[in-house]
Amino acid sequence: MQFITTHFGTSPAERAVQVEHLLGPSWLESPRCQGPLVLCGDFNAMPGSDPHRRLCERLRDTQLALKNHKPRRTWFGPLPLARIDHVFVDELVQVKWVDVPRSQLSKVASDHLPLVVDLEIVPSDCVVSKVPAINQTALEQIATV
């Protein structure tokens, strides 16, 4: 199982570099990146933006994966204007439920609303996975971008 969390920058140029690194050979295309994959975080990228589009070429946006689910905005907490926080999954992960809770606490706890997903891993007899070592070089590359 691969579980990756990220926080993309606010400038379009920075996000473009970050998404290419994430999709490249040091991360998602690495031979070590096997098994079910969950990628989540603050992407500072709305649906239709280049980073979101690029990620959707490889993964599924959980808010778009469920039938009869209307995607909900996650930022700005008190008055959500944009959907910039995402959870992406690969074909080995099934999306069961998605919610963006709006309580008084969630509106003041952060400038983002929580994105809660219930996921189910495809049965293990269908999955071949290896536990990869942490790729410190890739981590350093992302951190310096």
Domains of the chain: 2-129 (3.60.10.10)
pLDDT at position 126 is 57
Give the number of residues written for the chain. Answer: 145
For residues 18 and 55, the answer to whether their CB atoms sit within 8 Å is no
Q: What percent of the chain has pLDDT over 70?
A: 85
The pairing of beta strand 85-89 with beta strand 37-42: antiparallel
Q: Pick the more confident residue, 42 or 132.
A: 42
Contact 85, 75 (CB under 8 A): yes
What is the distance between the alpha carbons of residues 145 and 13, in angstroms, rounded to a whole number?
10
Q: Decide which of 145 and 32 is more confident.
A: 32
> Do β-strands 93-99 and 116-121 pair in parallel, antiparallel, or remain unpaired?
antiparallel
pLDDT tens digits for range 43-80: 999 999 999 999 999 999 999 999 889 999 999 877 88
pTM of the model: 0.82
Closest alpha carbon to 38 in 60, 16, 57: 60
At 109 the pLDDT is: 84
Q: Among residues 119, 49, 68, which one has the least CA distance to residue 91? A: 119
